[in-house]
Chain A
Amino acid sequence: MGDGRGVSMQTSMQTYTDAFAAASASGGSAPAWLTGLRRRAHDEFVATGFPTTRNEDWHFTSVTPIAERTFKTPKVGTGAASVTDALALAAGESGWPRAVFVNGRFDSALSALGALGKDIRVATLPDALTEGPDWVANHLGSLAAFDKQAFTAFNTAFVNDGLVVRVPKNVKAPAPLHIIHVADASAAGCVIHPRLLVVVDANAELAIVESFVSTGSAEYLTNAVAEVRIGEGARVHHYKVQRESAEAFHVGTLQAHQSRGSLFHSFSYATGAALSRTNIYTKLAGEGAEARLNGLYLVDGTQHVDHQTFVEHIAPNCSSRELYKGILDGASHGVFNGKVFVDPEAQKTDGKQTNHALLLSPQARVDTKPQLEIFADDVKCTHGATVGRLDAIALFYMKSRGIGADAARALLTYAFAAEVLETVEIDSLKDALEAIAFQRFTNQVQR
């Protein structure tokens, strides 16, 4: 370890290995496929270790603060969050079906899944294991690769609680499924490994809003993994709202797999955590599939926020559209790394990636790295990135109409965000995210 974190990292690895051994010894009821999966992931995690900045995928994001700490497993039943806390923090409607996890544990008292209707199967991972449907065994761990992905391996080694969702053929979910991960004060010093498996069959449709919120200012690590399998002609919308505590660390990986003619629409909204990394990966494996990946992040202070996308064009005639915007104040640091791979088979690929950052202060900075690997000849792939500041002339124009400096800055900042917020297709969610954003700009400009 060139960065001098070797010793503490070895200690933390040993602790995780011990925790893994303890969990394996106590969790006797798990099916063999799962214990095998955990074991392989554990071994991979130990062999790979946390990534360093020499790893190309982590070049601009040092996870040393995560690697040098040793996070504990949260104690069961310590969560004291109330449903009002959770709902107030999470941007969604109270009538939506919801699954609430407190410090990584499903909380049945806070959850209400009835509104999802009887066609859609939804269960916690432990319940699903008891029932033992094949589809869970077949799909869990089948998409989110944990070789060379240390955080996914870390999650998989400790996979325990979580949610599994199956939308059968031709079924349209009547309302968005809201998954709320709440971390409260007792999460301090802990690592939480949320896990989500979504299987949406042919021509079915599901929208998921996954909120990560915190009722306090605890320092903890959320290390989430979601796997989303999208059948032929199916449509899946995934909204991630990351509002972790200001001291928290957050790593979240979503891996989607798209069949012919399917749509995957992802929106990542990030305002929280001291250090966060969101991975949105999708494989366009069937002809005519479409991926729309969008995101907005707003950070200040010394926050570090990183998004990595990976769009694998495997089949012909697929399209991918990416638009990510970041607003950075204080001495915050934003990273965007957009990878696009086009297989020789994936002719007529139409890919577009756009990334814009707005720097509100001289100390804020952003690193952008588009990576296009194109092995087919008949494709259209573009990428564009800009880093800008508020337009001084536009500010003056607004002031010359009587609009105060703070309001003018807030309005221009909001205008910058508006384009990407428009991609949120759930109106109430869009309004809520707009309100959170607006509030944040106003706070920022008042400083």
Chain B
Amino acid sequence: MLSISALHANAGDKPILKGISLTVNPGEVHAIMGPNGSGKSTLAQVIAGHPGYEVTGGSITYMNQDLLELDPEERAQQGVFLAFQYPVEIPGVTNAYFLRSAYNEIRKAKGEEEVDPMEFLDLMEKKLKLVDMDPAMLHRSVNAGFSGGEKKRNEILQMAVLEPKLAILDETDSGLDIDALRIVADGVNALKRPDNATIVVTHYQRLLNYIVPDFVHVLAGGKIVKSGGKELALELEQRGYEWVMDAA
């Protein structure tokens, strides 16, 4: 589904990703862990198509096409979804309008018919339940004035509505209380299908009790320095990152 090979990327003149290779198959859950500033969000943003990063080497293939050739909206229309570490506030655009626009654009891209506001509200009712969100939030501006946890939940709501093939969750668990963490994890698990895949970026093995990864990767200094099974997360929790980086 996703194949990243020797990926190098800069922010301005500064090299951040220094040769990342990663393969994700349908049905898999990958966890990416690693110290602050190691490049986890950069990797996620590059996959989503953030214009602020320049890919200087390597490739990303997604569903047999060159992902780097696609605009961010085309990537989304083809099933790539990034839950932002820092969700963006858009004052003046309601959540409902935003979500419906996104939903319809993605439907259009798939050759499906657009839904009208009434149909969409019906759909929203189910999705709101999934993430246990107050319907009143739909009529507020996107993320504007939302608490940290509400923003994260809103990201999962968007994911639930857009039903991506490849979901990347960038520290969606940070800032969530224990109940919310559970809700978010349940939401992610409920959306899991054999033909889609998830990449979770996290600092906490706690989340991985709920969203059980098939693979855990350690990203440090812009490279994946170690990969393993779910037990690697436990080991990292106990021993920290130093031993991995020393060994690398």
Residues of A bordering B, CB below 8 Å:
392-394, 396-405, 407-408, 411-412, 414-416, 418-419
**Are A393 and B88 closer than 8 Å at their CB atoms?**
yes
Q: Which of A394, A400, A408, A415 has the most CB of B within 10 A?
A: A400
B39 interface residue per 8 A CB criterion: no
B62-86 near A? 1/0 per residue, CB < 8 Å:
0000000001110111000110100
Given known contacts A396-B72, A401-B76, A404-B105, A416 and B92 CB-to-CB distance under 8 angstroms: yes
Majority SS of interface residues in chain A? Answer: helix
Known pairs A397-B90, A415-B141. 18 more at Cβ < 8 A?
Answer: A394-B88, A394-B89, A394-B90, A396-B51, A396-B72, A397-B84, A399-B76, A400-B48, A400-B82, A401-B98, A401-B102, A402-B102, A402-B162, A407-B101, A412-B90, A412-B93, A414-B92, A416-B92
What is the minimal beta-carbon distance from A52 to any residue of chain B, in angstroms?
Answer: 39
- Chain A residues with CB below 8 A from B102, complex form: 398, 401-403
Task: Check A402–B76 contact: CB distance below 8 A.
Answer: yes
Q: Is B106 an interface residue (CB 8 A)?
A: yes
Q: Which residues of B contact A402 (CB under 8 A)?
A: 73, 76-77, 102, 105-106, 109, 162
Nearest Cβ on chain B to A430's Cβ, whole angstroms: 15
* A392, B51: Cβ atoms closer than 8 Å: yes
Sampled A-B contacts (23; CB under 8 Å) = A392-B52, A394-B88, A394-B89, A396-B49, A396-B50, A396-B88, A397-B84, A397-B88, A397-B90, A398-B98, A399-B76, A401-B76, A401-B98, A401-B102, A402-B73, A403-B101, A403-B105, A404-B105, A408-B73, A411-B93, A411-B97, A415-B141, A419-B92
CA distance A396 to B53 in the complex (A): 12
List residues of chain B with CB within 8 A of the CB of A401.
76, 81, 98, 102, 105, 158, 162
Given A394-B88, A398-B90, residue A411 in contact with residue B101 (CB < 8 A) = yes
Q: Which B159-191 residues have C-beta < 8 A from chain A?
A: 162
Q: How far is the CB of A118 from chain B (nearest CB, A)?
A: 43
Contacts of B76 in A (CB 8 A): 399-402
Number of A-B contacts (CB under 8 A): 75
**B72 and A399 contact, CB distance less than 8 A:** yes
Q: Which residues does chain B contribute within 8 Å of A416, judged by CB atoms?
A: 92
Provide the bound-state CA to CA distance between A132 and B15, in Å: 82
Q: Contacts of A418 on B, CB cut-off 8 Å?
A: 92
B75's closest neighbor in chain A, by CB?
A400
Which 6 pairs across A and B sit closest by C-beta, in order of nearness?
A415-B92, A402-B76, A401-B102, A397-B88, A399-B72, A399-B73
Name the interface size band of chain B: 20 to 34
**Residues of chain A lying within 8 A (CB to CB) of residue B135:** none
Please provide the chain B residues from 18 to 67 with a CB less than 8 Å away from any CB of chain A in the complex.
48-52
Contact among A404, A407, A415, A419 for B90, CB-based, below 8 A: A415
Residue from A400, A403, A415, A419 within 8 A of B49 (CB atoms) = A400
- Inside 8 A of B77's CB, which chain A residues have their CB? 402
Residue from A392, A404, A411, A414 in contact with B73 in the complex, judged by beta carbons closer than 8 Å? A404
B residues in contact with A392, CB < 8 Å: 51-52
Q: How far is the CA of A412 from the CA of B97 in the complex (A)?
A: 12
| B91 interface residue (CB < 8 Å to A) | yes
> 8 Å CB contacts to A: which residues of B76-126?
76-77, 81-82, 84, 87-93, 97-98, 101-102, 105-106, 109
Max count, chain B CB within 10 A of own CB: residue among A394, A403, A416, A418: A403
B91 contacts which chain A residues (CB < 8 A)? 415
Q: Closest Cβ of chain A: how far from B201's Cβ, in Å? A: 15
> Could you tell me the distance in whole angstroms from the C-beta of A412 to the nearest C-beta in chain B?
7
A405 touches B71 (CB 8 A): yes
Chain B residues near A419 (CB-CB < 8 A): 92
Q: Which residue of A lies closest to B143 (CB)?
A: A397
Complex Cα distance, B158 from A414, in Å, reads 22
B110 CB to nearest chain A CB (Å): 10
Known: A404-B105, A407-B101. A399 touches B49 (CB 8 A): yes
> Bound complex: CA of A404 vs CA of B75, how far in Å?
11
- Bound together, the chains give a CA A414 to CA B106 distance in angstroms of 21
Closest residue on chain B to residue A397 by CB atoms: B88
Which chain B residue shows the least CB distance to A419?
A: B92
CA distance A418 to B98 in the complex (A): 15
Q: Which residues of A contact B92 (CB under 8 A)?
A: 414-416, 418-419
Which residues on B sit within 8 Å (CB–CB) of A415?
A: 90-93, 141
How distant is the Cα of A289 from the Cα of B52 in the complex, in angstroms? 51
Give Cα distance in the complex from A194 to B92, angstroms. 37
Bound together, the chains give a CA A27 to CA B72 distance in angstroms of 68
Nearest opposing residue in chain B for A411, CB measure: B93
Give chain A residues whose Cβ lies under 8 Å from the Cβ of B158: 401
Query: How far, in whole Å, are A393 and B88 apart by their CA atoms in the complex?
Result: 7
Q: In angstroms, how far is the closest chain B Cβ from the Cβ of A263?
A: 26
